Each structure stands twice: as structure tokens, then as C-alpha cells.
Amino acid sequence: MFLPENIDLAHSEKYSLSIRLTPNGFSFYFQSSDDPNVFHFQKTDLSNKLSYSDNIKKLIFDLGFFTHSFKKTTVIIVSPNYTLVPRQLFEAKKSKEIMDFNFHDMSGIKLHDSSVNKDYSVVFNMDEEVHSFLSRHLINPEFKHHSAPLLNVFNTYTHHECRKQCFVCFHDGFVSVFCYFEDKLLSANTFHCDNKPDTTYYLASIWEKLSLDQTKDTLYLSGDIDSYLTVVNDLKILIKNVERINMEPKTTLTKEQLNSLPTDVIAALCV
């Protein structure tokens, strides 16, 4: 596998490894907190001839280097199945109970991600066989949810103005939507966006239900915007203030990477 010259896995302890799992894709990236010029992202589609878990196992074995000892190893789960719990009310031992209450008949192991500033924990589920496999074959992996870095970055925007704000991220065949009033989170949701007219309708419905003002409040867009221009153009007809969100990662990224990387990856690099 090709890696940039400034990444030498003979000294893997200098780098952080992040593996990003979507329902139909696998990607990973290396970075270094000591050197902002160190970054490499690679994405691989999964084979339709293998099960989801067998795909993950094959990639881990074929690429071979995931078992190295890295400075930090993170597994990011991209999924619409999650819920936020205020930190002061959260108990890790109740993760399964919380998920079972919000999502009926959902299989998989229930996990939690408490990296969302100081306010929330994200409770989410993951394929149990994949979790078990990665826990055995990676060294001390941390399992996180894609919504956590998004919430951390979007929350920094909420202190600039006193209006309501809606953050929309297009990614991986999903739309993640987070709405705020000042610094108070009003709603958080991720849903499939296979049908673009339905996506426009759903987003417009969120504005209506949360009483966002189409002339005063702001819609911030991020992610794979170019693939959803019909949705974006429809929203611009309905909403006066539509902007692209601007992030400042601590890792050096090219313009192409800023336009193509998933927003949650860029957001994680801002920390």
C-alpha cells in the first residue's frame, strides 16, 4: 500500500490511526499531533460478495498494519442509530437500556462516546461481531460515533450570534442535522437521503417544527454538497441565510482534501 514519504510505520507509535466504518464502506487515516504535515486518508468500498463483518476482517488482514502499536487508535461508527444523553444524567451501565427504549428490536452492542464537549454523551450501537473482532486485533481501540466531532465543531458557532442555527452535513448517503438556539442544542438527527425531494421536505419540516425563522436564522451546510445541489438550491429558495461552514483543522490539508473529506474527519482534526 502506498503511503506518503513522511509516514514510516516502522515508527507507528508516532502516529494516530483512525478507522471509519459506514454501512457500505471502510476508510482510515493517519495523522500526527506533533507534525501537522502528516496526514493520509484512504477509502475502500466493501465487497457485495462478503458479509459486512467478513469484509472488515479481510481488510484488516489484507492491509496488515492495523495491529501495529499506534499513539492512539480510534474506530468511528457512521450510523443514524444514536441518541444524546445530558452528561449529568448519563450512566454508562444504562447504555443498552437507553438504546432499547429509543430503538426497538435493534441488534448489536451498545456503546457510548463521551467526547462531546462537557454537555452530552452519545449512545450508539455497533455490529457485535465487528466490535469483538476489532477489540481483539487492534491495540486499545476507542470506539466513537461520527456525530461527536460534528457537535463539537458546530457548538463553537453557536456563541457568535443570538439567532437559531441549523447545521446540515451531507455524507455517506445520510444527512446529519443539528439545530441550536444560542448555545442550547434543540435537536440532533441523522437520516438516509436516498430521495432528494423527501430530503428537502424533511429539512423544511425541521425548520417548521422548531420555529426557525426563514428570514433571520441561518442554515450552515457542509459535507458532500455538490451531490445534493438540487436540495441546496431548493433550500436557498426557502431560507434567506444559507452558508457553508468553515473549519480550521490543525492538520495541513489541501483544498481538494477540504472539499472531499467527510466533515466529521475534518472536524476531528480541528481538536
List of domains in the chain: 1-145 (3.30.420.250), 158-244 (3.30.420.260)
Cα separation values, 158 from 119, 122, 218, 220, Å:
14, 20, 11, 11
Tell me the mean pLDDT in the region 212-224: 96
H-only helix segments in 64-195:
95-102, 128-137, 147-157
To the nearest whole percent, how much of the chain has pLDDT over 70? 98
Cα separation values, 233 from 75, 221, 237, Å:
34, 12, 7
Element (H, E) at 189: strand 184-192
Model confidence pLDDT, tens digit, residues 37-89? 999 999 998 999 999 999 999 999 999 999 999 999 999 999 999 999 998 89
Q: What's the pTM value of the predicted model, to 2 decimals?
A: 0.94
Interatomic CA distance for residues 109 and 167, integer angstroms: 29
Tell me the mean pLDDT in the region 11-26: 96
Interatomic CA distance for residues 122 and 119, integer angstroms: 10
Tell me the mean pLDDT in the region 190-202: 94
Best CA proximity match to 11, nearest among 71, 61, 73? 71
- Average per-residue pLDDT in the chain? 94
Per-residue pLDDT for 238 more than 80?
A: yes
Best CA proximity match to 95, nearest among 85, 104, 105? 85
Interatomic CA distance for residues 61 and 66, integer angstroms: 8
Interatomic CA distance for residues 99 and 22, integer angstroms: 19
